[in-house]
Chains A and B, each alone.
Chain A
Amino acid sequence: MWKAIKDRETGRIRSNSFANRFKSGRILSLQLSNRKDFVSPHRGSVNSLQVDLTEGRYLLSGAADGSAAVFDVQRATDYEASGLIAKHKCIFTVDKQHDNGHKFAISSAIWYPIDTGLFVTGSYDHYLKVWDTNTAQAVVDFKMPGKVYRTAMSSMAMSHTLIAAGTEDVQVRLCDIASGAFSHTLSGHRDGVMSVEWSTSSEWVLYTGGCDGAIRFWDIRRAGCFRVLDQSQTQLGIRPPILKRTAVSSKFYSAAKSSLGGQNRLKTLQSKHTGSQSVKGSSSAKASTEKSRQKRIHPGMLSTLDRATAHYGVVTGLKATNDGMYLLSAGSDSRIRLWDIESGRNTLVNFETGRIQTNKAIQLDTSDDPALVFVPCMKTVKTFGMWSGRTTLMLRGHYESVNTCCFNSSDQELYTSGADRQILVWSPGGSVEDEMVQDEVAEDKDNWSD
């Protein structure tokens, strides 16, 4: 570590890469934090967690008892065991006792992406409420046609303040905070919508995953969905990360490919030198893309395409990577799929998941630099390499099934919550300060009396 600092000072390493190296080291050593506790005020399973997007400091949680709470993740409210354990109590809660609190479970609680002055909660009581954080009062509420499963706001949006809400109903509604009305009703799913995710590259693009197993892409400027993901349309491997220096020439490309040691093999559909199997798939895929292109011109799609499914079962979770190129989806078939957004194909990365919760929406999260996916797998949280699908970490601490993962990239901390009402903090272990404090308290030692 000291060597790296020296290198950075002498200019041998760029500060950016130094930071990345340091962060990745931390991320790979995540473990259950002994020094940070969230005192959960919730009496039911915690369904939703989000760290605010502006400061990365306030954690919003929504729970099945109809309560939502906000925590400060950086400043502890009090300490235990001579400062060893920092207790984070919630700054405030909004629960059933509140005048306009939710009657039933809150399924989703999200921050207003621009600042922390507002947050949005969606509940099983068919309401979607927008709250003022400072007064803890509901500002706007929307009556939805059914239970709200998931809500989402675009982190990119500059020109609209729309809340996408996936509900029991087949239609996805977009609620406009500014007007207090539904601005869009997106029809296409044949069953309730479990997961909603805005694109991280375009403020107009919305991804939704339904109980019918379909993942649909919507451009809110146009009518109808423009793409339905089909798990059978595949591509092997992923695109290489776009490096700035690659002014993409095929030569460089291949060089880069070989330099990556065949790890990131891109098998484009156009390359016809691969095995017969892939040829078959590619030809059919080619046809479908052409068709979809046609359909993009004409609103509405062919019924055959329209019936494509991304998962066998419910799509319980969607997560777009931060670079906006890939979409991760979790399904009740206990699979995680990584989709290439541009091509809309399944990349066939095999994530070694065990079982994934089937009847509830789950919340995945990703980290950037070591591209990792955090997936709640029943009672554990698993960390997969995004490109390899290998399990890097198994985080075990919850006593009941985990619902959400929320990665705080500024602190390299992971927050998870589950049906056991706990919000756990997973922080990088083995840091210097940690050991210093351990020495100070120094009780945890061998004690052989005989």
Chain B
Amino acid sequence: MEGRDDGGGKVMGLIEKATKSTAQEVDPRLLKAIKSIVRYSDSEVRLSAQTLMELMRHNHSQVRYLTLFIIDELFMRSKLFRTLIIENLDQLLSLSVGFRSNLPLPSPPAVATMLRSKAIEFLEKWNLSFGFHYKELRLGFDYLKNTLKLKFPDLQANAARIQRERQEREMKTKEILRNKFDSLRDSFGLFKYEIEVTIKEIKECMEIVQWRGDDGVPLAILDEEDFEEIRCSHLRQIRLDSLKQSEKVEETSENRVVFDVLREQCKLLVTKHLISVQEGISLLIRVDVSDNRTRDSMLKDLIDIRNNILAAKKKWEEAGFTISMMTGTHENEETNEEEEDIWEEDDGKVGTDSVKNVAPVTRTQQSDNSSLLSSSEAKKSNKASNTKKVGSTGGSLRDKLISEAPVMNWGSQLSNWDSTTEVRANYRGLELESHWGRVDQDAVIPAEKIAELNLQATVYREERTETPPCRAPLKKGGLCQRRDLRVCPFHGPIVPRDDEGKPIIQESPLDESINQTSSTTGTNQDMPMDETTSDSDPNQLARQIAKQALKNIREKDKEVMRKRAKLVKVKVKEHNQEVLRDAAIASTSRSNVIDEEFDRVFAARKNKKQTFSSMRRKKTTAKDRISQRLLSNRVKSTNPQQLGQGNDEKCRETSANQW
């Protein structure tokens, strides 16, 4: 009995102490102490309920506020406490919410509003968890909500909404994953094959390159024999590094081709295949499909592939090949040849030994200098050959396709070239809440849109052509350096000239065709050579004259031909006119008289017509008169040209299409 009283006193003391603070929340330690004591026995619960209700009547919002917190804590835990509190629920509510106009919440007003909102929140929470068991709770909640129209935070509805949204999002994600999985499954074989091919190629390239480097290895070993002499550890370190460096492959002009292939392939492997493999793995891990077997097998395959890729990567990294270097070379290649040196130096910096590094640099420089022009050309051809090499494994169809394919700039858009998968717009892989309002997590950018966004604008770049200099000899010596497109304002049309500025006479296309007909390609080739070599040759002169004569004759022939053609034209014209005239005569009534006998011989059935026309003959209309006059004129004009009449038939044959 005494102990209980003791405990009771303690509870009251604790509660009073807890509610005396000015903090926004009850001291958690005190709260814990209260809880542990109240848990001890029912009488404690009763006592605490009583104390708390008394404290709720305290005429200060802060005290009420803290008391309400303690009540909430105990309410959520003890059933007895709940029943005790609910007996006086209306009182508690009026004291905490202050909905009775005659019982407003006490000062301070700031805390009072907090008290009110907290009380409403607690009431809703209580109603959610225990409303089914306590009609009073339901009633109080209903009254405040529906009668007094107090605004409740509406926890349940919010929670339900959030839950629903999350579910929907998950469903959508699943759907997307499944689609991705399906597409991956469909393209898995090809994908795998491509990667295998790439890895194989890299391996081969590495073999080639390493074979080249074989010479260095014995050298290194040879160096190692001097190794004992070097005592200083620092020097030894340098030595070791240099040895390592020597193991690394070096790019020379000879194996540049191989290196280029290697670079390309490595880049492809790292930037595209490795990433897509990793994506595939994560996709397979996340996706939830009924077909677990294929998924597992695919997953296994993908992991193997990834390991292969990583192994390959490790290998080339061991060989002194780094991604940055590769990308560096790639850029350099495209921009400037000179900068390649810088890259080489960069490569050198990887090692600590500077002395050793000089050698490869100089070597490459030399090679560059020696064939600056040729190397760039070679590179271009290399590229072509690279692609061809790849194509040769893929088959002739691919070759053909590659020849047709447009040349694109390298970019990220190539990695999802032609893909039909949708891309999630707000997917970051991180569960981040946006500061700028609600974010639609399921937003999806359709594949067409992605394609549209990735559309590369290519600017037409005019191929720069070298405008040849005029190269006409100048009086003061030297050659004219003016570069005009066709005509030099000082020296006339630009013609190919030799080193001294003498024009190399080019044959006219007519001549060429003649030459072709005479099938003397050899002389055709000879001539410019001869001209450049010797100008003063008499033989040459004679030949030239002969040629000129030939030309003249041909020109004459041509003229004759042209005249003949003209004649034919004239004849055609005449013939046309004649036909016109005939037609005009036939259309008049007078002309029928001329044709009368002719008609009688040929067409007996035309008799009727004939009589018709004979009846109409006597009438001479104005039209007849005009036609008659026309006829007489024509007859006069045609008379002198009767000579060529015989040609008429020929003309008709040659130009049958005229009429």
Chain B residue nearest to A80 (CB atoms) is B132
* B52-92 to A contact mask, C-beta < 8 Å, 1/0: 00000000000000000000000011111010000100100
**Chain B residues closer than 8 Å to A446, beta-carbon distance:** 77-80
- Assess whether B79 is in contact with A32, with CB atoms less than 8 Å apart: no
Give the interface size class of chain A: 20 to 34
A32 CA / B90 CA spacing, docked (Å): 14
Q: Is B134 an interface residue (CB 8 A)?
A: yes
- Assess whether A444 is in contact with B133, with CB atoms less than 8 Å apart: yes
A92 CA / B417 CA spacing, docked (Å): 68
Chain B residue nearest to A35 (CB atoms) is B135
Q: Which of A81, A397, A445, A450 contacts B139 (CB 8 A)?
A: A397
- Assess whether B130 is in contact with A444, with CB atoms less than 8 Å apart: yes
A443 CA / B143 CA spacing, docked (Å): 24
Q: Is B136 an interface residue (CB 8 A)?
A: yes
- Assess whether B147 is in contact with A399, with CB atoms less than 8 Å apart: yes
B82 → chain A, closest Cβ, in Å? 8
- Assess whether B135 is in contact with A397, with CB atoms less than 8 Å apart: yes
**Chain B residues closer than 8 Å to A400, beta-carbon distance:** 147
Chain A residue nearest to B131 (CB atoms) is A81
Q: Is A72 an interface residue (CB 8 A)?
A: no
Q: Is B140 an interface residue (CB 8 A)?
A: yes
Given contacts A32-B135, A422-B139, contact A379 B90 (CB under 8 A): yes
B221 → chain A, closest Cβ, in Å? 73
Q: For chains A and B in complex, what number of residue pairs have CB atoms within 8 angstroms?
A: 60
Q: Is A85 an interface residue (CB 8 A)?
A: yes
Please provide the chain A residues from 421 to 450 with a CB less than 8 Å away from any CB of chain B in the complex.
Answer: 421-422, 424, 438, 441, 443-450
**Chain B residues closer than 8 Å to A438, beta-carbon distance:** 133
A424 CA / B143 CA spacing, docked (Å): 13
Q: Is B35 an interface residue (CB 8 A)?
A: yes
Q: Is B449 an interface residue (CB 8 A)?
A: no
* A3-40 to B contact mask, C-beta < 8 Å, 1/0: 00000000000000000000000000000111001000
Chain A residue nearest to B91 (CB atoms) is A396
A80 CA / B132 CA spacing, docked (Å): 8
**Chain B residues closer than 8 Å to A441, beta-carbon distance:** 132-133
- Assess whether B78 is in contact with A396, with CB atoms less than 8 Å apart: no
* B32-46 to A contact mask, C-beta < 8 Å, 1/0: 100110010000000
Q: Is A352 an interface residue (CB 8 A)?
A: no
**Chain B residues closer than 8 Å to A420, beta-carbon distance:** 143, 147
- Assess whether B77 is in contact with A447, with CB atoms less than 8 Å apart: yes
Chain A residue nearest to B132 (CB atoms) is A81
A45 → chain B, closest Cβ, in Å? 10
- Assess whether A34 is in contact with B134, with CB atoms less than 8 Å apart: yes
Given contacts A32-B135, A34-B134, A397-B135, contact A444 B143 (CB under 8 A): no
* B121-151 to A contact mask, C-beta < 8 Å, 1/0: 0000000001011111011101100110000
Q: Which of A84, A399, A424, A448 contacts B39 (CB 8 A)?
A: A448
Given contacts A397-B135, A397-B136, contact A448 B90 (CB under 8 A): no
Chain B residue nearest to A445 (CB atoms) is B79
- Assess whether A448 is in contact with B35, with CB atoms less than 8 Å apart: yes
Q: Which of B80, B135, B140 contacts A399 (CB 8 A)?
A: B140
- Assess whether A399 is in contact with B143, with CB atoms less than 8 Å apart: yes
Chain B residue nearest to A31 (CB atoms) is B135
A424 CA / B139 CA spacing, docked (Å): 9
Counting chain A CB atoms within 10 Å of each CB, the highest count among B32, B35, B76, B135 belongs to: B135
A32 CA / B132 CA spacing, docked (Å): 13
- Assess whether A449 is in contact with B143, with CB atoms less than 8 Å apart: no
Q: Which of B79, B80, B135 contacts A34 (CB 8 A)?
A: B135
A396 CA / B94 CA spacing, docked (Å): 14
Chain A residue nearest to B74 (CB atoms) is A448
**Chain A residues closer than 8 Å to B142, beta-carbon distance:** 422
**Chain A residues closer than 8 Å to B139, beta-carbon distance:** 397, 399, 422, 424
Given contacts A33-B135, A34-B133, A424-B139, contact A399 B90 (CB under 8 A): yes
A429 CA / B26 CA spacing, docked (Å): 37
A447 CA / B77 CA spacing, docked (Å): 4
Given contacts A443-B132, A446-B78, contact A396 B90 (CB under 8 A): yes
**Chain A residues closer than 8 Å to B80, beta-carbon distance:** 446
* 11 further interface pairs, Cβ-Cβ under 8 Å (given A421-B146, A444-B130, A449-B77): A33-B135, A34-B133, A37-B135, A81-B132, A379-B90, A399-B143, A424-B139, A446-B79, A447-B78, A448-B35, A448-B77
Instruction: Mark B residues whose CB is within 8 Å of A.
Output: 32, 35-36, 39, 76-80, 82, 87, 90, 130, 132-136, 138-140, 142-143, 146-147
* 10 nearest A-B residue pairs (beta carbon): A444-B133, A81-B132, A399-B143, A34-B135, A32-B135, A447-B77, A448-B39, A446-B79, A448-B77, A446-B78
Q: Can you list 9 pairs linking A and B with CB atoms under 8 Å apart? A: A34-B135, A396-B87, A420-B147, A421-B146, A443-B132, A444-B82, A444-B133, A448-B39, A448-B77
